[in-house]
Structure 1
Amino acid sequence: MGQVLTHVPCPECGTSGDSDPEQSHWQCSNCGNGFFLRRCTACSRVSYVDGLQGFHTPWPCTWCGRYNQGFSQNQDPAAASAAELAAEVHRYGRPGGPAGPDTGGRDRTQAHDMAVAVGPASPGAPSPRHGQVPTPTPGTWHFVRKRGVLAGAAVMVAVAAALAALLGPPDHGGSNKPPLLTRSARPTLRQTSTAATIACASGSIELIGSSTFGPVVQAAASIYTGRCHARINVVYGDVGGKGIDSAYAAATVNAAVQSKPAQAGSMIAMYNGETSSAPFLTPDPLGVLIFSMVAHTGLYPGSDISSSELKRLFLQGGEPGKIAAGRQAGTGTRITLLGFLGRQGPEPQVSGNSCPPPAGSAVCTEYSNMGLLSFVNKTRNVIGYAEVDHESNGHPAGYPDASVLSINGIAPTPANVRNGSYNFATVANLYMPPHPSALAKSFYQYLLQYIAANQSGGLITCSGVPKKLEDNC
């Protein structure tokens, strides 16, 4: 109904056809071949995937030739839209043909600006630029596509044979050839939605706040600004003695919008969960954050702690011989812990001591996720809570003297969050101004895809999580 169509080139016959820009599948009206559209995890470009691709089988990227693991027709986190594919073709040229804007297949402006990230433990090392991949030579697509089709066909033949053995011979006149789908159900969850075009936008934005998912935003910003003429400043942690955490960020951006709404479109607060202290801002979810209890190695020999002991440590004044290290009052991480422990009403009166606490005190607070992990790692009698991206033998990566604890025997894993047995988790939100800039909107859409392709032990997509989490995603 008056919708502008997107022109998509066919990799098989070379002709172009129209497509609904939001669709994640396309069928050529000239040769009849159909394709699903998926984003490659190796080069981040939108690839054609053959319409006969087998379920959960590797598929080859149209651009770089790398194989991507698994495939699903519905709710595939790698799903991309026809509009995104059109943007890729406009930038890089047709697959197997001439390169796009320059011979390296990159945006000419990528060297002009870069992401600036400020964090206490992870200075922003430049991430590899996903645009720097070789464009397949003519004919490569046909080769890798045939390999993908053969792999998918082998799976479907095996399935067909098994069904034939169970159900008997097919009806006369029936066909054993799997039909090409002409309509694919679009993902319903926001973090895997492909409704918006992920395209470069220029300008400058600043994201401040959460140190739990700030490093992920920082990594994505490095890639985005490597491909686009933009500047993205990511700030978190104890910067300049200000203690820039999620509570500080929500209040700062909210005040900017309230006083100068026209100039605040480029400011974004990173917050864990939801807050009522930012009424002028709107939360846009990125995924689910998983928090872990962490203790100095040996403090809990069984690497397990009960919820009743957690309440004694963090709600009732602590335990002799142990220091309970937490996060600042008002931060999303701290509020998530209190909610997990069933605290109702105002927060308990706790010391505002910075870590390490003075003699005689059993509690202290850290400004950042990394600061808390560092304090636990170097102090023998400390237990705290943090988001942990990766583990090695039960230790947070980079913190060998800290151990991740189970709670009531349940480990903090993505699988346990999804099955509902582990509940110390919340939604990672970008709190946006009422009128975000074009760059803010574009980068948010890119972040969704980046997180879907780079899920870890601490940040996952909203797909498949319990309803109480999914409702806020």
Structure 2
Amino acid sequence: MAVTELSDPALGDCLDTRSGIAVREDTGGHIGVIDLPKVPLNRGEHYKILAILQRSDGDGAYRPPVLLGSLRGGRITETRSRTGVPRVMLALTAFLVAVIVGQFAVAVLERPPTPLDCAEGALRVIGSSAFEPVIRDAAAQYGRRCHGTTFSFEFAGTERGLDRLAQAGPDAGLIAIGDGPKGPGYPALRERALALAVYGVFVHRDLGITDLTVAQVRDLYQGRITNWRTLGGPDLPVVLIDRTPGSGSRVIFEQALLGGEQPPRPHRSCTAIKDTAGTYCDVPVTEDMHQAVAEIPGAIGYGELAEARRAGMAVLTLDGVAPDRTAAIAGRYPFRGVEYAYTHGDPPAGSPAASFLHYLTAGLGTEVLRAHGNEPCAGGRLEPGRCAPTG
């Protein structure tokens, strides 16, 4: 027990230890008693007593404290310590929890609004097999942002893609991807440069060859070098793996390394020459090129650099320069080309084709192109004229 508040400090003299204020225990009833003395109080004066009650023994419910006494011309005000949360606070807390849960449910269940540059509908992408992994990845990233577009693909080669697009007419749901420019045979097609792509020359891993000059590559594909022994390799005949005519990768290869052409050769299946003495075959798509070079002893081939490395091919340096994006941008590495996207005329604004092309050339799709080892033509790092098949 303690006196905690006095309206007038002079009242303290009436409540000191000599005044009779005390705490005692009624031993017979096991009851604690607080004795308060007579204190003269004027109107408006008061004092406060703090009493802390503690059970001494026993259990179960206990009787509440009892106040005995009276005041002349005044009143006794009793205050209690209240534990627990007030009902008003409980109600307010429950209301706020309900609001938060409701907002979370709306955020989870409500479909996010379609971004302004997205479009709904179907889009089919065809053409270059060399750029297939890049386009599939870009389409997947685009689809996470634009939920209303559905994609389908057919990567059977640049020429087949351009032919299909030209025959389809002004179809807003069709885009063709090509390695290099389309040439004069497709006047109705509209081309957009996507990226400077890096290509590589690779050989069968057992050859042990790690570097060739551009002149040596040219001599190999011109038929002037027919045995790897001539280039310091094993005594094995050279087996040239080529892409079929109409391949954009083949066009880039011929322009960048062969001076624009190579001797005409009849088509031969790479599967058919595996157990023969054949020294040449061609394949329709990039994946078949990787397989043929890996399986045929003495084989040499070419293709898009990032995918060749993912396939585990033994990629060569050319004239001592390792193939990479930086060397290609600087012009030190010669085997490079431009990837294009083609439409039949300009696609209508708001169409899936227009939206996806914008994503590839000016949106987040440029980062997908860069992640696959290419340099976007709209990335700002290429000098004017560098976004061309031979620089």
Does the alignment reach a TM-score above 0.5?
A: yes
Question: Partner residue of 1:255?
Answer: 167
> How large is the Cα RMSD of the aligned pairs?
2.8
Residue of 204, 219, 223 corresponding to 1:296:
204
User: What amino acid maps onto 2:310 in structure 1?
Assistant: A
Question: Partner residue of 2:249?
Answer: 333
- In 1, distance between residues paired with 2:215 and 2:110? 57
Work out the percentage of aligned pairs sharing the same amino acid. 22
User: What amino acid maps onto 1:322 in structure 2?
Assistant: V
1:18-417 correspondence runs (5 A): 102-103=107-108, 107=112, 199-226=117-144, 227-236=146-155, 244-257=156-169, 261=170, 264-276=171-183, 277-301=185-209, 303-316=210-223, 319-320=226-227, 321-344=237-260, 348-358=263-273, 359-389=276-306, 396-399=309-312, 402-417=313-328
Query: Any idea what the Cα deviations from partners look like across 1:314-354, whole Å, max 9, x if unmatched?
Result: 2337623121112111221101111112534x653023112
Q: Secondary structure at the match of 1:354?
A: coil
- In 2, distance between residues paired with 1:464 and 1:348? 37
> Structure with the greater relative contact order (CA < 8 A, sep ≥ 6): 1 or 2?
2
- Tell whether the 8 Å contact from 1:271 to 1:428 is kept in structure 2 after alignment: yes
Q: Secondary structure at the match of 1:350?
A: coil
Residue of 425, 437, 452 corresponding to 2:366:
452
Measured after TM superposition, the shift of residue 432 of structure 1 is 1.0
- In 1, distance between residues paired with 2:251 and 2:293? 20
Measured after TM superposition, the shift of residue 198 of structure 1 is 6.5
Q: TM-score, normalised by structure 2?
A: 0.62
User: What amino acid maps onto 2:226 in structure 1?
Assistant: E
- In 2, distance between residues paired with 1:104 and 1:374? 47
Aligned CA distance change for structure 1 residues 103 and 205 (closer, same or farther; 3 Å): same
Query: Any idea what the Cα deviations from partners look like across 1:41-87, whole Å, max 9, x if unmatched?
Result: xxxxxxxxxxxxxxxxxxxxxxxxxxxxxxxxxxxxxxxxxxxxxxx
User: What amino acid maps onto 2:345 in structure 1?
Assistant: P
- In 2, distance between residues paired with 1:231 and 1:418? 34
Query: Any idea what the Cα deviations from partners look like across 1:235-265, whole Å, max 9, x if unmatched?
Result: 21xxxxxxx21111111111222xxx3xx22
- In 1, distance between residues paired with 2:290 and 2:110? 40
- Tell whether the 8 Å contact from 2:337 to 2:388 is kept in structure 1 after alignment: no
- In 2, distance between residues paired with 1:233 and 1:387? 22
* Count of residues paired in the alignment: 269
Aligned CA distance change for structure 1 residues 266 and 323 (closer, same or farther; 3 Å): same
- Tell whether the 8 Å contact from 2:359 to 2:366 is kept in structure 1 after alignment: no
**Which is higher, the Rg of structure 1 or of structure 2?**
2
Measured after TM superposition, the shift of residue 201 of structure 1 is 0.2
- In 2, distance between residues paired with 1:307 and 1:106? 55
Query: Any idea what the Cα deviations from partners look like across 1:214-235, whole Å, max 9, x if unmatched?
Result: 2111112123233321211122
Poorly superposed stretches of 4+, deviation over 6 Å: 98-101
Aligned CA distance change for structure 1 residues 313 and 439 (closer, same or farther; 3 Å): same
- Tell whether the 8 Å contact from 1:198 to 1:442 is kept in structure 2 after alignment: no
- In 1, distance between residues paired with 2:302 and 2:218? 13
Question: Partner residue of 2:26?
Answer: none
- Tell whether the 8 Å contact from 1:292 to 1:412 is kept in structure 2 after alignment: yes
- In 1, distance between residues paired with 2:317 and 2:365? 25
Residue of 384, 387, 390 corresponding to 1:470:
387
User: What amino acid maps onto 2:165 in structure 1?
Assistant: V
- Tell whether the 8 Å contact from 2:157 to 2:246 is kept in structure 1 after alignment: no
Measured after TM superposition, the shift of residue 416 of structure 1 is 0.4
Aligned CA distance change for structure 1 residues 319 and 347 (closer, same or farther; 3 Å): closer
- Tell whether the 8 Å contact from 2:142 to 2:365 is kept in structure 1 after alignment: no
Aligned CA distance change for structure 1 residues 351 and 468 (closer, same or farther; 3 Å): farther
User: What amino acid maps onto 2:119 in structure 1?
Assistant: A
